[in-house]
Structure 1
């Protein structure tokens, strides 16, 4: 498949918010640069008018310019290998690619080859989700991972002792990537399928639900996640800005959940909720 690359010249302060905005326009992969941000989208999904509108939206508040390139037969593995460095979470988890050497100092050594999927732990939302996961007990539990991307959260849950993890994503390439990463980490208890929350068996109950998506999806689906939770179960969410946290919290409360730990990292938020026992 061919891809379109958009090279954005913009202040680093706007890289995160533009990443979120572009993800809503079907952009799949992002690389921060010294000049700003490079974003990649399948050629068939690229909407130049939507990009122009987005740039016009931010032009009054920051200097921003962009260049569009058509990419054919790009070596994507070489792209992320060049920029992907291991990350560490709470001195407990280390996320690395298969070409990095393991570090025995960390309790959980995760091998994540991201390809075109979102979720190497470098983004604030993924890092916060993993930090929140470390405070939960996954031993012997059934877990649901909503919008799994690379499968990084599912892999951590499995490595922390989950008996079963059901993960899904709407993108075929993400599903393939998550399956590959589950195999790389020797996690046979992870099952990945292509679909949405509507495809999850409504009669099955989970003790932990993980959802690192975006504000609109969370507001629409939190009541469904609550129904799928066992009494006493935990819902862990991220993928939204701090200024949206109040709306997410109220939605969860209205669904019958009890608010727990909240984390914030560079304007992004993660919230933990529990279902009354």
Structure 2
């Protein structure tokens, strides 16, 4: 069974609505990408996907399901907080990227020289999703030593933490969701990093400074399409993910004359490295 939990549920509630959808892996991946701004958590299995929502969003999700033909069977249930926390420990296993970096829950012991510990009970990004995995791959292929980094949509802070471990000196991270704040700083403490990392709750619409050596953005396609035209710097490197393979031409068109240096692919997802 291939299970990942990417955006772990926000545990400020006690009961969540649980949606089980059936269909091809491709159809389920696409649908969950459409619900990214609503869902609290997601588990992908071989034959079904389990997606978690707040109760108030059920009607919105049902409307989306009714308008998405590739998914024709689904069912709703509920899960309580204590059951979810136990499920988190049951499902969250170490993620190893290219035998160079491991991403582990705080209760696990490190087994590699480059190890990132996080608290997945509150996390917004655990490394299991293809997009995060490829962002880590791309970072490992880049020279971040003594460089500046802009981490857009940081979530749990995995990419900022890795950047620091890879030698970056000036790191600025943002996320629009204020529920990420405590988790971000908790994960910095778990990894004994923090100096040289600044974090703000900020929407992408309000970014006006892209003067960093490396810009990392692992966010959904629509936000990327709004973001790209604003980046008018040169001599730096932009790394993008959150892009489905079927949207490749859309993102390439938006990039225009910007040089795509490398494309990573993992299942239905892409990660692009662009020279500005």
Which band: TM-score by shorter chain? 0.7 to 0.9
Which has the bigger relative contact order, CA under 8 A and spacing at least 6?
2
* Cα distance change of structure 1 residues 264 and 91 upon mapping to structure 2, 3 Å threshold: same
**CA offsets per residue over residues 154-186 of structure 1, 9 Å max, x none?**
111111010021111111121221121122112
Name the CA distance, whole Å, in 1 between partners of 2:138 and 2:92.
23
Name the CA distance, whole Å, in 2 between partners of 1:131 and 1:33.
23
Q: For 2:35, what is the secondary structure of its paired residue?
A: helix
**CA offsets per residue over residues 213-257 of structure 1, 9 Å max, x none?**
011100111122x23x4x321100000101112221221225xx2
1:141 is displaced (CA, Å) by 1.0
1:194 matched residue in structure 2:
201
1:136 matched residue in structure 2:
142
Q: CA RMSD in A?
A: 2.1
Does residue 114 (structure 1) correspond to residue 120 (structure 2)? The answer is yes
Contact persistence 1:10–1:64 (CA under 8 A): yes
| Matched pairs, number | 262
Contact persistence 1:237–1:272 (CA under 8 A): yes
1:181 matched residue in structure 2:
187
Q: For 1:47, what is the secondary structure of its paired residue?
A: helix
* Cα distance change of structure 1 residues 50 and 154 upon mapping to structure 2, 3 Å threshold: same
Q: Which of 200, 210, 213 is the aligned partner of 1:207?
A: 213
Describe how 1:120-269 pairs up with structure 2 within 5 A: 120-188=126-194, 189-200=196-207, 202-203=208-209, 205-224=211-230, 226-227=231-232, 229=233, 231-254=234-257, 257-269=258-270
1:62 is displaced (CA, Å) by 4.5
* Cα distance change of structure 1 residues 204 and 262 upon mapping to structure 2, 3 Å threshold: closer
2:271 matched residue in structure 1:
270
1:130 is displaced (CA, Å) by 0.6
Name the CA distance, whole Å, in 1 between partners of 2:28 and 2:141.
29
Name the CA distance, whole Å, in 2 between partners of 1:244 and 1:198.
22
2:8 matched residue in structure 1:
none
Name the CA distance, whole Å, in 2 between partners of 1:190 and 1:7.
37
Name the CA distance, whole Å, in 1 between partners of 2:46 and 2:238.
37
Contact persistence 1:117–1:173 (CA under 8 A): no
**CA offsets per residue over residues 58-112 of structure 1, 9 Å max, x none?**
4x4345211142x5554654331121000111111111011111113xx421112
Name the CA distance, whole Å, in 2 between partners of 1:120 and 1:6.
20
* Cα distance change of structure 1 residues 168 and 130 upon mapping to structure 2, 3 Å threshold: same
Q: For 2:89, what is the secondary structure of its paired residue?
A: helix
Name the CA distance, whole Å, in 2 between partners of 1:182 and 1:222.
28
